[in-house]
Amino acid sequence: MASSSNDKVLRGGSGPTDARANALRALAMDAVQQANSGHPGAPMGMAEMAVALWTGHLRHNPANPHWADRDRFVLSNGHASMLLYALLHLSGYDLPIDEIKRFRKLHSKTPGHPESGLTPGVETTTGPLGQGFSNAVGFALAEKMLAREFNRPGHEIVDHRSYVFLGDGCLMEGISHEAASLAGVWGLNKLIALYDDNGISIDGAVQGWFRDDTPARFRAYGWNVIGPVDGHDVLAVGQAIAQAKSSNDRPTLIVCHTTIGRGSPGRAGTAKAHGEPLGADEIAKTREALGWTAPPFEVPDNLRALWNARELGKAREAEWNARLAAYRAAHPALAAEFERRMRGDLPADFNATLAAAIEAFGAAPEAVASRKASQKVLAALAPKVPEMFGGSADLTGSNLTDFPGCGERHVSYGVREFGMAAIMNGVALHGGYIPYGGTFLTFSDYSRNAVRMAALMKLRVIHVFTHDSIGLGEDGPTHQAVEHVPSLRLIPQLDVWRPADTLETAVAWASALQRRDGPAALALSRQVLPVVATPAQAEAIARGGYVLSDVPAGQTARAVIIGTGSELQFALQAQTRLAAEGLPVRVVSMPCTNIFDRQPAAYRDQVLPQNLPAVAVEAAQPDFWRKYVGRDGGVVGIASFGESAPAADLYKHYGITAEHVAAEVRRCCAR
């Protein structure tokens, strides 16, 4: 039978094991045992696959994990982290044996799941199944785009592959469908996925819950499928990779039949091997079965020598450096641009571009929806920031993420919010691009874990979330975000912007582009919004919260109204009403609470004086604002789901009005 998944009885490798693979097995089982937690089964099962790839094909330089043209390797089944740590250690990365001994310990470089930015050679943080695979699609996409942009005849400076290991868990996740489908459409032939087809997941043999014909599924996506091969046969896997490398139009899936926990007489082929230390007795039996005599954490010198990739890596990078030098000689400006892009520096004239855009917006103020404002900003900035790479999950005409002349710098991800977000993470990790992508704010829930991963990895990824409240009107509660902005604000390291007009939107975009240590989400309105800010306030806007409109000179504010986005207008209207009643109040615009919170206390106290009552207005779940207005302050928001009706009727129905804001201020001032 051709299908591997319908033929789970077929298992790879009953013959002798490879000594290089046994070094990986030994380190994995010993480290998991010492940590008294972890996942030995997958590293032991994928050991020969790893030998085949890492010693036979992977182009990398352990001394320089940041070499721009290295092959990327992603361990999508991140619970198999000890496999990756053993590979990095043995290949010669800066990951000494002491770090392997400290597997899963506080502040080690060997955390439970691989974390990029922490361990040299770890390309992306994996663990949430399916996302690593999707990141790899992003890596391959970035490679392809960068090659198209920078390679010139006779000068192939961008020419590397993206390899990914994945298991049943990754393939069961829906996101694998989204990402694989796109990889097929995009013809990412330099993407090579190796499937650890061991028929086991946590609950046992996957037959009961995973009977997909995986090879047929991937063929249907337009992939090149190889195998099943015996995943314990280094030669067979190596040959399959060689074959995959010759695919010139399609990504490749290599189905590798393996046995989880291979080598362990008592645990091999069982779910118990997945996530439990083997135990001292079973480790002893495994050592005997494998003929592994070295003590724990020791690897014989002859095997270390076979694994060490430093010399080869150095030579490979030197060869590429020579190619880059030839490229630089032939195309100096392009070479400088390539290096800038890979460093992640914005164009030298970015500040001037931004200043000109802000001046132009100020000179011709226009009431537009903030999604439209965003498109105006894109039109002003993106042509001068060629690394901006946009897209939308089939809502381009609504999200307004395209811009004149964007061409191939804007892609249609189809209706795949989660896949889009995880692919963007891969693109950002690869370097050379600043990805941004759009969907409706309410569907940020679909992409949420990838947004979280971008924040965890401190990636420069920008989410354009439009239709950000009941203000979208008739589409009704399924489409109306209520809790989304407050809950996104809770994700550490994510900057959530809810700008009120074109100037605030321009500053939001600029802040997101300039930020090198985290993602941003822009919550944008469907409905038209009035102009509120002036170019003189641009610097203040960039602080996340600022005094938009203070009391007249000589008067003292009795209260502060805080507003964001589409409700800022109600704050200003309430201020006018209250002024007429002799109650002077200050209006603070708070487009990004996360950035405001990072300002010095003195600034925050100056904007929001501790002694003044405060009222916040935002068409969202109100609880978030308590941290600014306190128990006694007021919040005008919406604590339920919305309804299907024209926006103006909904605002009235839910009491998100200037009248209500003014009433709340009066109430607070009367206390």
d(C-alpha 657, C-alpha 374), whole Å: 25
**Cβ of residue 353: shortest distance to ligand TPP, in angstroms?**
40
Cα torsion through 419, 424, 426, 431, rounded to 10: 170
d(C-alpha 136, C-alpha 161), whole Å: 10
Which residues from 274-333 bind ligand TPP, rule CB under 6 A? Answer: 274
Helices within 432-529 (DSSP H only): 444-456, 484-489, 502-514
Using the contact rule CB under 6 A, the part of the chain among 167-175, 186-194, 424-432, 482-490 near ligand TPP is: 167-175
Answer yes or no whether residue 167 interacts with ligand TPP by CB under 6 A. yes
**Cβ of residue 489: shortest distance to ligand TPP, in angstroms?**
23
Give the amino acid at 336. Answer: A
d(C-alpha 126, C-alpha 133), whole Å: 9
* Length of the chain, in residues: 671
Which tokens sit at 599?
A: 């300002």
Using the contact rule CB under 6 A, the part of the chain among 82-90, 161-169, 440-448, 562-570 near ligand TPP is: 161-169
Which tokens sit at 249?
A: 């139009």
Answer yes or no whether residue 79 interacts with ligand TPP by CB under 6 A. yes
SS3 content of the chain, % helix, strand, coil (to 5): 45, 15, 40
What is the DSSP secondary structure assignment for residue 152, as one 8-state letter? B
Query: Closer to ligand TPP at the Cβ: 35 or 472?
Result: 35
By rule CB under 6 A, what string of x and - marks binding of each residue 176-205 to ligand TPP?
--------------------x-x-xxx---
Answer yes or no whether residue 42 interacts with ligand TPP by CB under 6 A. yes
Using the contact rule CB under 6 A, the part of the chain among 163-171, 475-483, 530-538, 591-599 near ligand TPP is: 163-171
Give the amino acid at 289. Answer: A
Which residues from 208-267 bind ligand TPP, rule CB under 6 A? Answer: 260
Answer yes or no whether residue 99 interacts with ligand TPP by CB under 6 A. no
Query: Closer to ligand TPP at the Cβ: 75 or 533?
Result: 75
d(C-alpha 430, C-alpha 190), whole Å: 14
**Cβ of residue 201: shortest distance to ligand TPP, in angstroms?**
3
Using the contact rule CB under 6 A, the part of the chain among 96-104, 126-134, 155-163, 176-184 near ligand TPP is: 126-134
Q: Which residues pair with 155 in a beta bridge?
A: 152
**Cβ of residue 261: shortest distance to ligand TPP, in angstroms?**
9
DSSP E strands, 525-649: 528-529, 546-549, 559-563, 585-589, 614-617, 634-636
**Cβ of residue 21: shortest distance to ligand TPP, in angstroms?**
16
Q: Report yes or no: 84 and 72 within 8 Å, Cβ to Cβ.
A: no
What is the DSSP secondary structure assignment for residue 362, as one 8-state letter? H
Smallest Cα–Cα separation from 297: which of 23, 18, 83?
A: 23
Catalytic sites, residue numbers: 417
Answer yes or no whether residue 25 interacts with ligand TPP by CB under 6 A. no
Q: Report yes or no: 166 and 196 within 8 Å, Cβ to Cβ.
A: yes
Number of residues that bind ligand TPP (CB under 6 A): 19
Answer yes or no whether residue 169 interacts with ligand TPP by CB under 6 A. yes
Smallest Cα–Cα separation from 375: which of 355, 392, 352?
A: 392
d(C-alpha 284, C-alpha 279), whole Å: 9
Query: Closer to ligand TPP at the Cβ: 209 or 641?
Result: 209
Query: Closer to ligand TPP at the Cβ: 168 or 495?
Result: 168
Query: Closer to ligand TPP at the Cβ: 267 or 372?
Result: 267
d(C-alpha 320, C-alpha 158), whole Å: 10
Instruction: Give the max Cα distance, the chain.
Output: 90
Give the amino acid at 394. Answer: D
DSSP E strands, 516-633: 520-524, 528-529, 546-549, 559-563, 585-589, 614-617
Among 40, 41, 544, 563, binds ligand TPP (CB under 6 A): 41
Query: Closer to ligand TPP at the Cβ: 176 or 399?
Result: 176
**Cβ of residue 212: shortest distance to ligand TPP, in angstroms?**
13
Give the amino acid at 486. Answer: P
Answer yes or no whether residue 129 interacts with ligand TPP by CB under 6 A. yes
Query: Closer to ligand TPP at the Cβ: 155 or 274?
Result: 274
**Cβ of residue 55: shortest distance to ligand TPP, in angstroms?**
22
**Cβ of residue 665: shortest distance to ligand TPP, in angstroms?**
46
Query: Closer to ligand TPP at the Cβ: 12 or 92?
Result: 12
Which residues from 258-277 bind ligand TPP, rule CB under 6 A? Answer: 260, 274
Q: Which residues pair with 165 in a beta bridge?
A: 75, 194
**Cβ of residue 1: shortest distance to ligand TPP, in angstroms?**
20
Using the contact rule CB under 6 A, the part of the chain among 48-56, 125-133, 217-225, 365-373 near ligand TPP is: 125-133
Answer yes or no whether residue 168 interacts with ligand TPP by CB under 6 A. yes
Answer yes or no whether residue 128 interacts with ligand TPP by CB under 6 A. yes
d(C-alpha 135, C-alpha 428), whole Å: 9
Using the contact rule CB under 6 A, the part of the chain among 162-170, 479-487, 533-541, 603-611 near ligand TPP is: 162-170
**Cβ of residue 36: shortest distance to ligand TPP, in angstroms?**
18
Query: Closer to ligand TPP at the Cβ: 400 or 420?
Result: 420
Answer yes or no whether residue 452 interacts with ligand TPP by CB under 6 A. no
d(C-alpha 477, C-alpha 468), whole Å: 12
Using the contact rule CB under 6 A, the part of the chain among 54-62, 166-174, 478-486, 523-531 near ligand TPP is: 166-174
Query: Closer to ligand TPP at the Cβ: 128 or 238?
Result: 128
Place of tokens 């390679």: 151
Query: What secondary structure, in 3-state letters, does 248-308 show?
Result: CCCCEEEEEECCCCCCCCCCCCCCHHHHCCCCHHHHHHHHHHHCCCCCCCCCCHHHHHHHC
| Residue ranges in contact with ligand TPP by CB under 6 A | 39, 41-42, 77, 79, 127-129, 167-169, 173, 196, 198, 200-202, 260, 274
